[in-house]
Amino acid sequence: MEAIVAIVGRPNVGKSTLFNRLVGQRVAIVEDIPGITRDRLYGEAEWTGYRFNLIDTGGIEVEGSNDISVQIRKQAEIAIAEADTILFMTDGKQGLQGDDKEIAEYLRRSKKPVILVVNKIDNQGMVDAIYDFYELALGDPIEISAVNGLNIGDLLDQIVATLPRLEEKEEEDDIIRISFIGRPNVGKSSLINSILGEQRVIVSNVPGTTRDAIDTPFERDGKKYILIDTAGMRRKSKIYENVEHYSVLRALRAVERSDVVMMVIDATAGVTEQDKRIAGYAHEQGRAMIIVMNKWDLVDKDTNTADQETKKIRNELIFCTYAPVIFVSALTGQRMSRLLEMVDYVADQHSLRLQTSSLNDLLQEAMRLAPPPSMGNRRLKIFYVNQVATKPPLFVFFVNDPELAHFSYVRYLENKIRSTYGFEGTPIRLSFRQRERQ
């Protein structure tokens, strides 16, 4: 489990610029227009060996009354509620504003560690601008320039000092942890209740993380499982019930703790942009995945409907075509008995390890059928391949020059591995390293 840090503040104080600098890539949209960041964005940062998740939020307008302002404020409130540490960004050029005071009061009530950041201090002559911010009673401000990178190391030191050391529990290897992720109201809880109702072997309900998920252990046919439900809301206010975007953050927490992810989609709505974000996170984290199209009983069907819908899903979720698709109804029980069978199967695929000799035989065959590409007068040479990890399977190819490994040939090798060995339901990773000269 990685800690979560949320960046909050008024519009246009530099939150997205800081986010991009801390995660090391240009992810957030950065424009000199207030309110350009509509949704929270998520990235991973690392400092002195400590990794944490970073949330970029839209600017909080305390008196904002239009729909976008209200939604951004609600999303920021959710980010604050879920974060371990909060970076409160202000603008040193504009100075202390009334909205800063209102936001500071809200942050004090959150009882979370807050680091007060005064941005846009671009040179030493501007340092005196920070003193007004002591009025916020949030401790010593730290002055930075997100654009120029000034004092970013000191800021990261402070962040790491406030974060809890989240220890991984020692878990039994033979337990399969299954998380149910997706947008609100797609039927995640109903699916879990249907599974448990069929089995009637609930061992106990125990708290999951310190956040929101509830872990339910149970057994079937001698196999142990834990169901991780992300559907339940800790807070009952309308803000948390109605804002859809909380689902990405809940998915983030649950996916990190699971072996197999059930990506639940409302079959009556099809794949939405939010579904893509949530599934994309599970894919990036290398978890085994099953795409569960729930509410299939509400869809008008003929003999070709399932095939047609599967093609649409593959086109929309093109990055995870390895994930099996199953059409179910938690309400009627349609195909529910197949879900755990599919979980067992993809969990096995996720932990599958190949023999090195068999893998290299496949490599030689693949290179005979399609020789490695060349760039200019240099051709890629692949000497051998090893599988170095599972969950997800990771294959390291030792080559003369990794730069010569064109993405189309990498995809070709991945397809050869999949067509020979399966790996259904799991992403696989291919890495290319230069073989050291002997």
Model confidence over 331-384: pLDDT tens digits? Answer: 898 999 899 999 999 999 999 999 999 999 999 999 999 999 998 889 999 999
Q: For 150-166, b where at least 16 C-beta lie within 10 A, e where not — what string?
A: bbbeebbebbbebbeee
310 pLDDT exceeds 60? yes
- The pLDDT score that the predictor gives to residue 166 is 55
Among 38-42, 126-130, 190-194, 432-436, name the one with the lowest average pLDDT. 38-42
Helix (H, G, I), strand (E, B) or coil at 308: helix
Annotate 4-32 with DSSP letters as a single string: EEEEEESTTSSHHHHHHHHHTS--S---S
Average pLDDT, the chain: 82
For residue 417, give the nearest of 395, 391, 389 by alpha carbon. 395
Q: Which of the four pLDDT bands, split at 50, 70 and 90, describes residue 159?
A: very high
Q: Tell me: the pLDDT tens digits for 204-217?
A: 333 333 334 457 88
122 pLDDT exceeds 90? no
146 pLDDT exceeds 90? yes
With beta carbons less than 8 A apart as the criterion, state whether 112 and 83 touch.
yes
69 pLDDT exceeds 60? no
Helix (H, G, I), strand (E, B) or coil at 13: coil
- The pLDDT score that the predictor gives to residue 167 is 53
Instruction: Look at domain 3-162 and name its CATH class.
Output: alpha beta
d(CA 178, CA 292): 13
Q: Between the CA of residue 344 and those of 63, 192, 223, 255, 430, what are the distances in Å?
A: 52, 16, 9, 17, 24
Annotate 57-113 with DSSP letters as a single string: -PPP-TT--SHHHHHHHHHHHHHHHH-SEEEEEEETTT---HHHHHHHHHHHHHTS-
For residue 267, give the nearest of 307, 305, 294 by alpha carbon. 294
Helix (H, G, I), strand (E, B) or coil at 365: helix
Q: Tell me: the pLDDT tens digits for 231-262?
A: 543 343 444 444 444 556 666 777 888 999 99
- Considering only residues 17 and 62, tell me which one the structure prediction assigns the higher pLDDT: 17
Q: Which residue has tokens 């878990």?
A: 171
At residue 51, φ and ψ (nearest 5 deg) are: -105, 145
Task: Name the architecture of domain 175-350.
Answer: 3-Layer(aba) Sandwich (3.40)
Q: Which of the four pLDDT bands, split at 50, 70 and 90, describes residue 187?
A: confident
Q: What is the mean pLDDT of residues 52-77?
A: 68
CA-based R_g, the chain, Å: 24
Q: Tell me: the pLDDT tens digits for 414-436?
A: 999 999 999 999 999 999 999 87
173 pLDDT exceeds 70? no
For residue 85, give the nearest of 11, 15, 160, 154 by alpha carbon. 160
Percent of the chain with pLDDT over 70: 80
d(CA 126, CA 132): 12
- The pLDDT score that the predictor gives to residue 220 is 85
Helix (H, G, I), strand (E, B) or coil at 91: strand
Same fold, 3-162 and 356-434: no
- The pLDDT score that the predictor gives to residue 234 is 39
Among 73-87, 124-138, 389-403, name the one with the lowest average pLDDT. 73-87
- The pLDDT score that the predictor gives to residue 82 is 75
- The pLDDT score that the predictor gives to residue 237 is 43
Provide the angle, in degrees to the nearest 10, between the axes of the packed helices 98-110 and 67-82: 40
With beta carbons less than 8 A apart as the criterion, state whether 210 and 166 touch.
no
- Considering only residues 123 and 389, tell me which one the structure prediction assigns the higher pLDDT: 389
Q: How many CA atoms lie within 13 A of 246 on its CB side?
A: 24
Domain boundaries, the chain: 3-162, 175-350, 356-434
With beta carbons less than 8 A apart as the criterion, state whether 76 and 8 touch.
yes
- The pLDDT score that the predictor gives to residue 231 is 52
Among 63-72, 99-108, 192-201, 225-234, name the one with the lowest average pLDDT. 63-72
Q: Tell me: the pLDDT tens digits for 381-417?
A: 999 999 999 999 999 999 999 999 999 999 999 999 9
At residue 427, φ and ψ (nearest 5 deg) are: -70, 150
- Considering only residues 67 and 317, tell me which one the structure prediction assigns the higher pLDDT: 317
Q: What is the mean pLDDT of residues 70-78?
A: 66
- Considering only residues 433 and 123, tell me which one the structure prediction assigns the higher pLDDT: 433
Percent of the chain with pLDDT over 90: 49
Identify the CATH assignment for 356-434 out of 3.30.300.20, 3.40.50.410, 3.40.50.800, 3.40.50.1370: 3.30.300.20
Specify the pTM: 0.66
Q: How many CA atoms lie within 13 A of 84 on its CB side?
A: 20
Q: Between the CA of residue 335 and those of 259, 264, 269, 272, what are the distances in Å?
A: 22, 14, 20, 23
Provide the angle, in degrees to the nearest 10, between the axes of the packed helices 273-284 and 246-256: 20
The DSSP code for 168 is: P
75 pLDDT exceeds 80? no
